[in-house]
Structure 1
Amino acid sequence: MSNQDQFGPIEYVAVEFTGGAPTSAGFEQLLTLVDTGVIRILDLEFVTKAADGSVAVVPASTFELADFDLAQFDGAASGLLDAGDITAVGEELAAGSVAAVLVYEELAILPVIDAWTRSGAKIVTEGHLTLDELAVALDNTEKDA
């Protein structure tokens, strides 16, 4: 890509694993998405919530899984998520759970954005729809039809 100042859409997802440890399911697919250039990990934090309700960020290597080495994600924790973000995730967790909080950039759309901007177009706004917002919009569309 010629314009290194372009970014793809930035998204985040927080996934709760009950039982106090993440499972390996999904992490291999995450690596595949990174390796194939579909996404770029901007931050990956592991958040725990103790029985007393306290919330902490811990390194990925804290969790020893039999079938996957999470330690390879230790370098992905960039600190992009601030204390308020971590607190908000912690409020959603059940005691004794851990969450993986992933902030990522979607790279697949960059060639489209690059082509538009090279031809004189400019990005005027961008955003994110939640699943709830999408459901409401679809419901409203069905009512209008």
Structure 2
Amino acid sequence: MPEFSYGPVELILVGFDGERPGPEIVDALRDVIDAGTVRLLDLLFVTRSPEGALTVLELEDAGDAIGLGEVVLEATGLASFEDIEELAAEIPAGSSAALLVIELAWAKNLASKLAAGHGAVLSTERIPAPVVNEVLAALAD
């Protein structure tokens, strides 16, 4: 069976007001990292000025100020500048976001077993949690 070093990777853009994430966001990141649900490969902070200019900070430059200085990244550089620019289009002027590059640790074994059976994931789509909850709440009414 092929043994993959990494499982599937996702880029997640988490928006927030101001230039730094609040303690709730920092705690949420720590929780999923500590639980082993995901492996944080890279983390960037992107701010869009009121005029629309982008500033990108890497975790090593911003980690201590945000409260994530002790976090060790597993594989930086997976998000290209083009990825950052494309995702940053979602950031409103005068606000910021954290761009998380995460490995879905739970899916690594599944990916290895699929490959061993000559199978492959052909497509994935994620439905955001707010949408899932809204739809299910509407169905329950």
Q: Which region of structure 1 is more displaced relative to structure 2, 79-88 or 123-132?
A: 123-132
> Alpha-carbon deviations, 1:12-65, whole Å to 9, x = none?
210111233211213323223323322111221101111221112113427735
Distance 1:109 1:121 in 2: 15
Match for 1:131: what amino acid? I
Question: 1:62-81 to 2 correspondence within 5 Å?
Answer: 64=65, 69-73=67-71, 75=73, 78-81=76-79
Cα distance, 1:101 vs structure 2: 0.6
Q: Which region of structure 1 is more displaced relative to structure 2, 27-36 or 102-111?
A: 27-36
Asked if the contact 1:13/1:103 (under 8 Å) is kept, the reply is: yes
Of the two, which has the highest radius of gyration?
A: 1
- Report the counterpart of residue 90 of structure 1 in structure 2: 88
Cα distance, 1:73 vs structure 2: 4.3
Cα distance, 1:85 vs structure 2: 1.5
Match for 2:76: what amino acid? S
Paired residues in the alignment total 130
Q: Which runs of 5+ in 2 are unaligned?
A: 136-141
- Report the counterpart of residue 138 of structure 2 in structure 1: none
Match for 1:88: what amino acid? E
SS where residue 26 of structure 1 aligns? Answer: helix
Structure 1 position 111 matched with structure 2 position 109? yes
- Distance 1:63-1:101 versus aligned 2 partners, 3 A rule: same
Match for 2:24: what amino acid? A
Distance 2:46 2:72 in 1: 13
Cα distance, 1:116 vs structure 2: 5.4
- Report the counterpart of residue 12 of structure 1 in structure 2: 11
SS where residue 102 of structure 1 aligns? Answer: strand
Structure 1 position 49 matched with structure 2 position 45? no
**Two-structure CA RMSD over aligned residues (Å):** 3.2
TM-score (ref. length: structure 2): 0.70
Distance 1:41 1:126 in 2: 24
Q: Which runs of 5+ in 1 are unaligned?
A: 139-145
Distance 2:63 2:48 in 1: 14
- Report the counterpart of residue 36 of structure 2 in structure 1: 37
- Distance 1:14-1:83 versus aligned 2 partners, 3 A rule: same
Identical-pair percentage: 26
